[in-house]
Homo-oligomer: A and B are copies of this chain.
Amino acid sequence: MFRLKADATSRSMPIAADILPELQAILGSANVRADDDARVTYGMDALKRGHPADVVVFPKDTREVADVVKVCARHRLPIVPRGGGSGYTGGSVPIRGGVVISLERMNRILEIDEANLIAIVEPNVVTGDLQDAVEQRGLFYPPDPASLRQSVIGGNVAECAGGPRAFKYGTTKQYVLGLEAVLPTGEIVETGGKVVKNVVGYDLTHLLVGSEGTLAIITKIILRLIPKPPVQATLRASFADVRAAVAAVTNVIRERVVPAALELVDGDSLEAVARYLKVRSLAPAGTGAILLVEVDGSAAAVGEDAARVEQACRNAGATEVLRAHDDEARQELWRVRRELSLSLKTITPLKFNHDVVVPKGRIPELFALVDRLKREFGLRIPCFGHAGDGNIHVNIMVNPADEAEISRAHAAERVLFEGIVALDGSISGEHGIGFAKAPFLSIELSEEEIALMKRVKRAFDPDGILNPGKIFPA
Protein backbone atom coordinates (compact mmCIF):
# COMPACT_ATOMS: atom_id res chain seq x y z
CA MET A 1 0.00 0.00 0.00
CA PHE A 2 2.62 2.49 1.06
CA ARG A 3 4.58 2.99 -2.11
CA LEU A 4 7.66 5.07 -1.53
CA LYS A 5 8.80 6.86 -4.64
CA ALA A 6 12.54 7.11 -5.05
CA ASP A 7 12.19 10.77 -5.99
CA ALA A 8 10.16 11.52 -2.89
CA THR A 9 12.27 10.11 -0.11
CA SER A 10 15.12 12.55 0.17
CA ARG A 11 14.93 14.67 3.29
CA SER A 12 16.65 17.99 2.94
CA MET A 13 16.77 18.92 6.64
CA PRO A 14 17.33 16.75 9.72
CA ILE A 15 14.71 16.64 12.48
CA ALA A 16 15.96 18.40 15.58
CA ALA A 17 16.03 16.20 18.68
CA ASP A 18 14.37 18.66 20.98
CA ILE A 19 11.34 19.49 18.88
CA LEU A 20 8.89 17.05 20.50
CA PRO A 21 8.99 18.65 23.97
CA GLU A 22 8.62 22.09 22.39
CA LEU A 23 5.56 21.00 20.40
CA GLN A 24 4.08 19.21 23.42
CA ALA A 25 4.45 22.37 25.48
CA ILE A 26 2.35 24.24 22.90
CA LEU A 27 -0.29 21.61 22.11
CA GLY A 28 -0.36 19.15 25.02
CA SER A 29 1.14 15.72 24.50
CA ALA A 30 -2.11 14.17 23.23
CA ASN A 31 -1.92 16.46 20.19
CA VAL A 32 1.62 15.58 19.17
CA ARG A 33 2.08 12.16 17.62
CA ALA A 34 5.27 10.50 16.41
CA ASP A 35 4.06 6.88 16.44
CA ASP A 36 4.42 4.88 13.24
CA ASP A 37 0.68 4.66 12.71
CA ALA A 38 0.26 8.45 12.67
CA ARG A 39 3.44 8.98 10.65
CA VAL A 40 2.22 6.63 7.92
CA THR A 41 -1.48 7.57 7.98
CA TYR A 42 -0.70 11.26 7.68
CA GLY A 43 2.00 10.59 5.10
CA MET A 44 -0.42 9.64 2.32
CA ASP A 45 -3.28 11.15 0.36
CA ALA A 46 -5.51 10.00 -2.52
CA LEU A 47 -2.50 9.85 -4.86
CA LYS A 48 -1.46 6.70 -2.93
CA ARG A 49 2.22 7.54 -3.08
CA GLY A 50 3.35 8.67 0.34
CA HIS A 51 6.26 9.44 2.61
CA PRO A 52 6.11 9.21 6.41
CA ALA A 53 5.90 12.35 8.48
CA ASP A 54 8.33 12.73 11.37
CA VAL A 55 5.71 14.26 13.64
CA VAL A 56 1.99 14.95 13.28
CA VAL A 57 0.41 17.75 15.30
CA PHE A 58 -3.21 18.72 15.89
CA PRO A 59 -3.57 22.41 16.78
CA LYS A 60 -6.95 23.68 17.96
CA ASP A 61 -6.70 27.28 16.79
CA THR A 62 -4.75 29.81 14.76
CA ARG A 63 -2.55 30.81 17.67
CA GLU A 64 -1.39 27.21 18.13
CA VAL A 65 -0.73 26.88 14.38
CA ALA A 66 1.42 30.02 14.51
CA ASP A 67 3.32 28.79 17.57
CA VAL A 68 4.02 25.43 15.91
CA VAL A 69 5.22 27.20 12.76
CA LYS A 70 7.57 29.37 14.80
CA VAL A 71 9.16 26.29 16.37
CA CYS A 72 9.57 24.67 12.94
CA ALA A 73 10.96 27.89 11.45
CA ARG A 74 13.55 28.10 14.22
CA HIS A 75 14.65 24.55 13.49
CA ARG A 76 14.26 24.95 9.70
CA LEU A 77 11.96 21.93 9.64
CA PRO A 78 9.61 21.14 6.75
CA ILE A 79 5.96 21.92 7.56
CA VAL A 80 3.09 20.33 5.64
CA PRO A 81 -0.49 21.50 6.26
CA ARG A 82 -3.17 18.85 5.86
CA GLY A 83 -6.95 18.96 5.48
CA GLY A 84 -9.06 16.04 4.27
CA GLY A 85 -6.13 14.26 2.62
CA SER A 86 -8.21 13.65 -0.50
CA GLY A 87 -5.92 15.34 -3.02
CA TYR A 88 -4.85 13.56 -6.21
CA THR A 89 -1.38 15.08 -6.65
CA GLY A 90 0.21 14.52 -3.25
CA GLY A 91 -0.23 18.10 -2.05
CA SER A 92 -0.43 17.03 1.61
CA VAL A 93 2.29 14.36 1.44
CA PRO A 94 5.38 15.22 3.55
CA ILE A 95 7.81 14.11 0.87
CA ARG A 96 10.75 15.51 2.83
CA GLY A 97 9.44 14.43 6.23
CA GLY A 98 9.04 17.08 8.89
CA VAL A 99 5.94 18.17 10.76
CA VAL A 100 2.47 17.53 9.35
CA ILE A 101 -0.02 20.05 10.74
CA SER A 102 -3.39 18.35 10.60
CA LEU A 103 -6.14 20.94 10.90
CA GLU A 104 -8.82 18.37 11.74
CA ARG A 105 -9.69 19.95 15.10
CA MET A 106 -10.38 23.28 13.40
CA ASN A 107 -13.64 22.15 11.86
CA ARG A 108 -16.32 24.60 12.95
CA ILE A 109 -18.72 26.67 10.87
CA LEU A 110 -18.23 29.94 12.74
CA GLU A 111 -21.00 31.99 11.17
CA ILE A 112 -23.63 31.90 8.45
CA ASP A 113 -24.66 35.50 7.89
CA GLU A 114 -27.88 35.46 5.88
CA ALA A 115 -28.19 39.22 5.57
CA ASN A 116 -24.75 39.58 4.03
CA LEU A 117 -24.66 36.20 2.23
CA ILE A 118 -21.44 35.18 3.94
CA ALA A 119 -20.16 32.11 5.76
CA ILE A 120 -17.09 32.10 7.97
CA VAL A 121 -15.52 28.70 8.55
CA GLU A 122 -12.48 27.03 9.99
CA PRO A 123 -10.43 25.12 7.42
CA ASN A 124 -11.52 21.57 8.21
CA VAL A 125 -15.25 21.93 7.64
CA VAL A 126 -16.23 19.15 5.23
CA THR A 127 -17.43 20.82 2.01
CA GLY A 128 -20.66 18.80 1.84
CA ASP A 129 -21.48 19.68 5.46
CA LEU A 130 -21.19 23.38 4.68
CA GLN A 131 -23.41 22.93 1.63
CA ASP A 132 -26.05 21.16 3.73
CA ALA A 133 -25.93 23.84 6.43
CA VAL A 134 -26.38 26.75 4.03
CA GLU A 135 -28.98 25.00 1.87
CA GLN A 136 -31.16 24.53 4.95
CA ARG A 137 -31.38 28.32 4.96
CA GLY A 138 -32.16 28.66 1.27
CA LEU A 139 -28.56 29.58 0.44
CA PHE A 140 -26.04 27.91 -1.82
CA TYR A 141 -22.31 27.22 -1.86
CA PRO A 142 -21.84 25.96 -5.43
CA PRO A 143 -18.34 24.37 -5.66
CA ASP A 144 -18.90 20.61 -5.75
CA PRO A 145 -15.72 18.56 -6.13
CA ALA A 146 -16.40 14.83 -6.44
CA SER A 147 -14.76 14.46 -3.02
CA LEU A 148 -17.22 16.78 -1.33
CA ARG A 149 -18.02 14.30 1.44
CA GLN A 150 -14.30 13.82 2.24
CA SER A 151 -12.55 17.02 1.27
CA VAL A 152 -12.61 20.13 3.42
CA ILE A 153 -12.98 23.80 2.63
CA GLY A 154 -9.37 24.58 3.55
CA GLY A 155 -8.14 21.96 1.10
CA ASN A 156 -10.65 23.14 -1.52
CA VAL A 157 -9.22 26.65 -1.15
CA ALA A 158 -5.61 25.46 -1.21
CA GLU A 159 -6.27 23.52 -4.44
CA CYS A 160 -8.98 25.77 -5.93
CA ALA A 161 -11.43 22.87 -6.20
CA GLY A 162 -13.88 22.78 -9.07
CA GLY A 163 -16.60 20.30 -9.95
CA PRO A 164 -19.51 20.02 -12.40
CA ARG A 165 -21.18 23.27 -11.36
CA ALA A 166 -18.10 25.33 -12.21
CA PHE A 167 -19.42 25.95 -15.73
CA LYS A 168 -22.20 28.18 -14.46
CA TYR A 169 -21.01 29.07 -10.97
CA GLY A 170 -17.21 29.13 -11.16
CA THR A 171 -14.70 27.34 -8.96
CA THR A 172 -13.79 27.82 -5.29
CA LYS A 173 -11.90 30.98 -6.23
CA GLN A 174 -15.13 32.80 -7.04
CA TYR A 175 -16.42 32.25 -3.50
CA VAL A 176 -13.45 33.18 -1.32
CA LEU A 177 -13.74 36.74 0.00
CA GLY A 178 -11.11 36.66 2.68
CA LEU A 179 -8.65 34.47 4.53
CA GLU A 180 -6.80 34.30 7.78
CA ALA A 181 -3.48 32.53 7.31
CA VAL A 182 -0.24 31.79 9.09
CA LEU A 183 2.90 32.62 7.14
CA PRO A 184 5.88 30.22 7.21
CA THR A 185 7.57 32.81 9.41
CA GLY A 186 4.82 32.44 12.03
CA GLU A 187 3.05 35.74 11.43
CA ILE A 188 -0.74 35.76 11.21
CA VAL A 189 -2.19 37.76 8.32
CA GLU A 190 -5.70 38.52 7.15
CA THR A 191 -6.44 39.01 3.47
CA GLY A 192 -9.61 40.39 1.90
CA GLY A 193 -12.56 40.54 4.24
CA LYS A 194 -16.32 40.42 4.51
CA VAL A 195 -16.92 42.63 1.51
CA VAL A 196 -17.33 41.47 -2.07
CA LYS A 197 -15.39 44.43 -3.42
CA ASN A 198 -11.98 45.21 -1.97
CA VAL A 199 -9.11 46.65 -3.97
CA VAL A 200 -6.82 47.70 -1.14
CA GLY A 201 -3.31 46.45 -1.85
CA TYR A 202 -2.52 43.24 -3.69
CA ASP A 203 -5.10 40.48 -3.92
CA LEU A 204 -3.27 38.01 -1.70
CA THR A 205 -6.54 36.15 -1.12
CA HIS A 206 -6.63 34.84 -4.65
CA LEU A 207 -2.89 34.27 -4.71
CA LEU A 208 -3.34 31.91 -1.75
CA VAL A 209 -6.28 30.16 -3.41
CA GLY A 210 -4.74 27.32 -5.39
CA SER A 211 -1.26 27.80 -3.92
CA GLU A 212 -1.33 24.21 -2.63
CA GLY A 213 -0.26 24.99 0.91
CA THR A 214 3.10 26.33 -0.21
CA LEU A 215 2.66 30.00 0.70
CA ALA A 216 0.72 30.03 3.98
CA ILE A 217 -1.41 27.84 6.20
CA ILE A 218 -5.05 28.84 5.87
CA THR A 219 -6.76 29.00 9.26
CA LYS A 220 -10.03 30.80 8.56
CA ILE A 221 -12.07 31.36 5.42
CA ILE A 222 -14.72 33.95 4.59
CA LEU A 223 -16.97 32.63 1.83
CA ARG A 224 -19.53 34.31 -0.37
CA LEU A 225 -22.88 32.52 -0.61
CA ILE A 226 -25.64 32.97 -3.17
CA PRO A 227 -29.38 32.22 -3.06
CA LYS A 228 -30.18 28.60 -3.74
CA PRO A 229 -31.81 28.17 -7.15
CA PRO A 230 -35.31 26.88 -6.36
CA VAL A 231 -35.75 24.42 -9.24
CA GLN A 232 -33.48 22.01 -11.14
CA ALA A 233 -34.01 19.79 -14.15
CA THR A 234 -31.65 17.18 -15.55
CA LEU A 235 -31.36 15.87 -19.10
CA ARG A 236 -29.41 12.92 -20.43
CA ALA A 237 -28.67 12.88 -24.12
CA SER A 238 -27.02 9.98 -25.95
CA PHE A 239 -24.84 10.37 -29.02
CA ALA A 240 -23.11 8.16 -31.54
CA ASP A 241 -19.73 9.67 -30.70
CA VAL A 242 -17.89 12.33 -28.73
CA ARG A 243 -17.89 14.69 -31.70
CA ALA A 244 -21.69 14.79 -31.79
CA ALA A 245 -21.84 15.33 -28.02
CA VAL A 246 -19.45 18.27 -28.27
CA ALA A 247 -21.50 19.68 -31.15
CA ALA A 248 -24.46 19.60 -28.75
CA VAL A 249 -22.42 21.53 -26.15
CA THR A 250 -21.65 24.14 -28.80
CA ASN A 251 -25.35 24.32 -29.71
CA VAL A 252 -26.32 24.80 -26.07
CA ILE A 253 -23.85 27.67 -25.78
CA ARG A 254 -25.08 29.20 -29.04
CA GLU A 255 -28.60 29.00 -27.63
CA ARG A 256 -27.21 31.20 -24.80
CA VAL A 257 -28.31 28.72 -22.14
CA VAL A 258 -25.95 28.45 -19.15
CA PRO A 259 -26.49 25.02 -17.59
CA ALA A 260 -25.43 24.44 -14.00
CA ALA A 261 -23.62 21.32 -15.22
CA LEU A 262 -22.67 19.95 -18.63
CA GLU A 263 -21.03 16.57 -18.08
CA LEU A 264 -19.66 14.31 -20.77
CA VAL A 265 -19.12 10.54 -20.38
CA ASP A 266 -17.39 8.62 -23.18
CA GLY A 267 -18.28 5.16 -24.48
CA ASP A 268 -15.48 3.34 -22.63
CA SER A 269 -16.58 4.84 -19.32
CA LEU A 270 -20.25 4.04 -20.02
CA GLU A 271 -19.32 0.46 -20.81
CA ALA A 272 -17.49 0.19 -17.45
CA VAL A 273 -20.53 1.51 -15.58
CA ALA A 274 -22.90 -0.84 -17.42
CA ARG A 275 -20.68 -3.78 -16.56
CA TYR A 276 -20.18 -2.70 -12.92
CA LEU A 277 -23.89 -2.07 -12.28
CA LYS A 278 -24.93 -4.97 -14.52
CA VAL A 279 -27.39 -2.68 -16.31
CA ARG A 280 -26.76 -3.19 -20.01
CA SER A 281 -29.19 -0.44 -21.02
CA LEU A 282 -26.82 2.16 -19.57
CA ALA A 283 -24.51 1.60 -22.53
CA PRO A 284 -26.75 0.68 -25.46
CA ALA A 285 -25.08 -0.37 -28.68
CA GLY A 286 -24.05 2.60 -30.80
CA THR A 287 -23.72 5.05 -27.90
CA GLY A 288 -20.28 6.61 -28.05
CA ALA A 289 -20.94 9.37 -25.52
CA ILE A 290 -23.60 10.86 -23.31
CA LEU A 291 -24.15 14.34 -21.97
CA LEU A 292 -25.69 15.02 -18.58
CA VAL A 293 -27.06 18.53 -18.49
CA GLU A 294 -28.52 20.24 -15.44
CA VAL A 295 -30.33 23.54 -15.63
CA ASP A 296 -31.47 25.49 -12.58
CA GLY A 297 -33.24 28.70 -11.63
CA SER A 298 -36.87 29.73 -11.28
CA ALA A 299 -39.49 27.20 -12.41
CA ALA A 300 -40.29 29.24 -15.51
CA ALA A 301 -36.67 29.67 -16.55
CA VAL A 302 -35.87 26.00 -15.99
CA GLY A 303 -38.77 24.90 -18.20
CA GLU A 304 -37.62 27.18 -21.00
CA ASP A 305 -33.97 26.22 -20.68
CA ALA A 306 -34.64 22.48 -20.54
CA ALA A 307 -36.61 22.68 -23.78
CA ARG A 308 -33.81 24.61 -25.48
CA VAL A 309 -31.17 22.15 -24.26
CA GLU A 310 -33.23 19.23 -25.56
CA GLN A 311 -33.56 20.89 -28.96
CA ALA A 312 -29.85 21.73 -29.04
CA CYS A 313 -29.02 18.06 -28.38
CA ARG A 314 -31.45 16.78 -31.00
CA ASN A 315 -30.05 19.22 -33.55
CA ALA A 316 -26.63 17.70 -32.92
CA GLY A 317 -27.99 14.24 -33.65
CA ALA A 318 -28.80 12.91 -30.18
CA THR A 319 -30.13 9.36 -30.45
CA GLU A 320 -32.10 9.71 -27.21
CA VAL A 321 -32.88 12.56 -24.79
CA LEU A 322 -34.35 11.91 -21.33
CA ARG A 323 -35.64 14.70 -19.10
CA ALA A 324 -36.10 14.49 -15.34
CA HIS A 325 -37.76 17.17 -13.26
CA ASP A 326 -38.37 15.50 -9.90
CA ASP A 327 -35.58 14.68 -7.55
CA GLU A 328 -35.82 10.91 -7.81
CA ALA A 329 -35.70 10.88 -11.59
CA ARG A 330 -32.81 13.35 -11.53
CA GLN A 331 -30.83 11.14 -9.17
CA GLU A 332 -31.43 8.19 -11.50
CA LEU A 333 -29.95 10.11 -14.45
CA TRP A 334 -26.97 11.21 -12.38
CA ARG A 335 -26.33 7.63 -11.26
CA VAL A 336 -24.01 6.89 -14.20
CA ARG A 337 -21.83 9.86 -13.30
CA ARG A 338 -21.71 9.02 -9.60
CA GLU A 339 -20.73 5.37 -10.14
CA LEU A 340 -17.95 6.18 -12.61
CA SER A 341 -15.04 6.09 -10.19
CA LEU A 342 -15.95 2.72 -8.72
CA SER A 343 -16.82 1.32 -12.14
CA LEU A 344 -13.41 2.14 -13.57
CA LYS A 345 -11.83 0.00 -10.86
CA THR A 346 -13.31 -3.03 -12.63
CA ILE A 347 -10.97 -2.29 -15.54
CA THR A 348 -7.81 -2.08 -13.41
CA PRO A 349 -7.40 -1.25 -9.72
CA LEU A 350 -5.10 1.72 -10.44
CA LYS A 351 -5.67 4.78 -12.58
CA PHE A 352 -3.55 7.79 -13.41
CA ASN A 353 -6.31 10.36 -13.25
CA HIS A 354 -5.46 13.52 -15.18
CA ASP A 355 -7.67 16.58 -15.02
CA VAL A 356 -6.57 18.25 -18.22
CA VAL A 357 -8.48 21.15 -19.69
CA VAL A 358 -8.79 22.67 -23.16
CA PRO A 359 -10.96 25.44 -24.63
CA LYS A 360 -14.27 23.62 -24.95
CA GLY A 361 -14.37 23.91 -28.73
CA ARG A 362 -11.23 21.78 -28.83
CA ILE A 363 -12.60 18.81 -26.89
CA PRO A 364 -12.85 16.71 -30.09
CA GLU A 365 -9.12 17.29 -30.66
CA LEU A 366 -8.47 16.21 -27.07
CA PHE A 367 -10.33 12.95 -27.71
CA ALA A 368 -8.42 12.45 -30.97
CA LEU A 369 -5.23 12.82 -28.94
CA VAL A 370 -6.46 10.23 -26.42
CA ASP A 371 -7.33 7.83 -29.24
CA ARG A 372 -3.79 8.17 -30.51
CA LEU A 373 -2.39 7.41 -27.04
CA LYS A 374 -4.61 4.33 -26.75
CA ARG A 375 -3.28 2.99 -30.04
CA GLU A 376 0.37 4.00 -29.75
CA PHE A 377 0.87 2.97 -26.13
CA GLY A 378 -1.63 0.11 -25.98
CA LEU A 379 -3.53 1.58 -23.03
CA ARG A 380 -7.12 1.72 -21.83
CA ILE A 381 -8.10 5.37 -21.29
CA PRO A 382 -11.74 6.01 -20.45
CA CYS A 383 -12.56 9.73 -20.22
CA PHE A 384 -15.33 11.79 -18.69
CA GLY A 385 -15.66 15.24 -17.24
CA HIS A 386 -16.90 18.77 -17.37
CA ALA A 387 -17.56 19.48 -21.03
CA GLY A 388 -18.77 23.02 -20.36
CA ASP A 389 -15.34 23.94 -19.03
CA GLY A 390 -13.36 21.74 -21.41
CA ASN A 391 -12.11 20.01 -18.26
CA ILE A 392 -11.92 16.30 -19.09
CA HIS A 393 -10.69 13.61 -16.73
CA VAL A 394 -8.38 11.36 -18.70
CA ASN A 395 -7.99 8.10 -16.79
CA ILE A 396 -5.02 6.01 -17.82
CA MET A 397 -5.87 2.59 -16.39
CA VAL A 398 -2.94 0.45 -15.24
CA ASN A 399 -2.42 -2.85 -13.55
CA PRO A 400 -0.14 -2.09 -10.59
CA ALA A 401 1.64 -5.44 -11.08
CA ASP A 402 2.40 -4.73 -14.75
CA GLU A 403 5.62 -2.71 -14.76
CA ALA A 404 5.64 -2.49 -18.55
CA GLU A 405 2.12 -1.05 -18.61
CA ILE A 406 3.08 1.47 -15.95
CA SER A 407 6.03 2.71 -17.94
CA ARG A 408 3.94 2.91 -21.12
CA ALA A 409 1.44 4.97 -19.08
CA HIS A 410 4.14 7.34 -17.89
CA ALA A 411 5.41 7.77 -21.42
CA ALA A 412 1.85 8.50 -22.57
CA GLU A 413 1.41 11.11 -19.82
CA ARG A 414 4.11 13.34 -21.21
CA VAL A 415 2.69 13.08 -24.75
CA LEU A 416 -0.76 13.86 -23.32
CA PHE A 417 0.43 16.97 -21.49
CA GLU A 418 2.42 18.27 -24.45
CA GLY A 419 -0.60 17.75 -26.68
CA ILE A 420 -2.90 19.52 -24.25
CA VAL A 421 -0.68 22.59 -24.04
CA ALA A 422 -0.49 22.63 -27.84
CA LEU A 423 -4.32 22.82 -27.82
CA ASP A 424 -4.15 26.04 -25.73
CA GLY A 425 -5.03 23.94 -22.70
CA SER A 426 -3.69 23.38 -19.22
CA ILE A 427 -2.29 20.23 -17.63
CA SER A 428 -4.43 20.71 -14.53
CA GLY A 429 -7.87 22.24 -14.20
CA GLU A 430 -8.68 20.93 -10.73
CA HIS A 431 -6.13 18.75 -8.98
CA GLY A 432 -3.11 21.02 -8.92
CA ILE A 433 0.53 20.07 -9.33
CA GLY A 434 1.65 18.74 -5.94
CA PHE A 435 4.70 16.59 -6.45
CA ALA A 436 3.05 14.19 -8.91
CA LYS A 437 2.87 16.69 -11.75
CA ALA A 438 5.88 18.84 -10.82
CA PRO A 439 8.10 17.19 -13.45
CA PHE A 440 5.66 18.40 -16.12
CA LEU A 441 5.38 22.04 -15.02
CA SER A 442 7.78 23.33 -17.64
CA ILE A 443 5.64 21.89 -20.43
CA GLU A 444 3.11 24.61 -19.64
CA LEU A 445 5.09 27.43 -18.02
CA SER A 446 8.14 29.21 -19.38
CA GLU A 447 11.43 29.44 -17.53
CA GLU A 448 10.70 33.12 -16.78
CA GLU A 449 7.25 32.30 -15.42
CA ILE A 450 8.58 29.56 -13.15
CA ALA A 451 11.37 31.86 -11.93
CA LEU A 452 8.81 34.56 -11.14
CA MET A 453 6.64 32.10 -9.20
CA LYS A 454 9.70 30.97 -7.24
CA ARG A 455 10.41 34.59 -6.31
CA VAL A 456 6.80 34.91 -5.12
CA LYS A 457 7.30 31.74 -3.08
CA ARG A 458 10.39 33.26 -1.46
CA ALA A 459 8.46 36.44 -0.61
CA PHE A 460 6.25 34.26 1.60
CA ASP A 461 8.69 31.55 2.60
CA PRO A 462 12.30 32.76 2.55
CA ASP A 463 13.65 29.52 4.05
CA GLY A 464 11.57 27.20 1.88
CA ILE A 465 10.16 25.22 4.81
CA LEU A 466 6.45 25.26 3.89
CA ASN A 467 5.39 22.19 1.91
CA PRO A 468 8.76 21.82 0.20
CA GLY A 469 9.10 19.86 -3.03
CA LYS A 470 5.64 20.81 -4.32
CA ILE A 471 4.68 22.58 -7.57
CA PHE A 472 8.23 23.30 -8.71
CA PRO A 473 10.42 20.63 -10.33
CA ALA A 474 13.37 19.72 -8.09
Contacting residues of chain A (119-174) with chain B, CB-CB under 8 angstroms = 138, 159-160, 162, 166-167, 170-171, 173-174
Which among A49-57, A315-323, A400-408, A455-463 touches the partner chain?
A: A455-463
Cβ–Cβ < 8 Å partners of A445 in chain B: 200-201
Cβ–Cβ < 8 Å partners of A196 in chain B: 166-167, 170-171, 357, 389-391
B430 and A160 contact, CB distance less than 8 A: no
Residue of B nearest to A197 (CB): B429
B200 and A427 contact, CB distance less than 8 A: yes
A191 on the B face (CB < 8 A)? yes
A368 on the B face (CB < 8 A)? no
A64 on the B face (CB < 8 A)? no
Which among A233-241, A254-262, A336-344, A375-383 touches the partner chain?
A: A254-262
A298 on the B face (CB < 8 A)? yes
Cβ–Cβ < 8 Å partners of A471 in chain B: 201-202
Q: How far is the CA of A285 from the CA of B329 in the complex (A)?
A: 57
Cβ–Cβ < 8 Å partners of A452 in chain B: 183, 187, 189, 204, 459-460
Which among A21-29, A36-44, A69-77, A206-214 touches the partner chain?
A: A206-214
Cβ–Cβ < 8 Å partners of A303 in chain B: 300
Interface residues of A (CB under 8 A from B): 113-118, 138, 159-160, 162, 166-167, 170-171, 173-174, 183, 187-191, 193-204, 206-207, 209-211, 215, 226-228, 230, 250, 253-254, 256-258, 297-298, 300-301, 303-305, 357-361, 386, 389-391, 424-433, 441, 444-446, 448-450, 452-453, 455-460, 471
| Given A114-B254, A195-B390, A200-B444: 18 more A-B contacts, CB < 8 Å | A115-B253, A117-B253, A118-B359, A159-B199, A170-B174, A171-B196, A188-B448, A193-B424, A195-B357, A198-B428, A201-B444, A201-B453, A202-B457, A203-B206, A204-B452, A226-B258, A297-B301, A455-B460
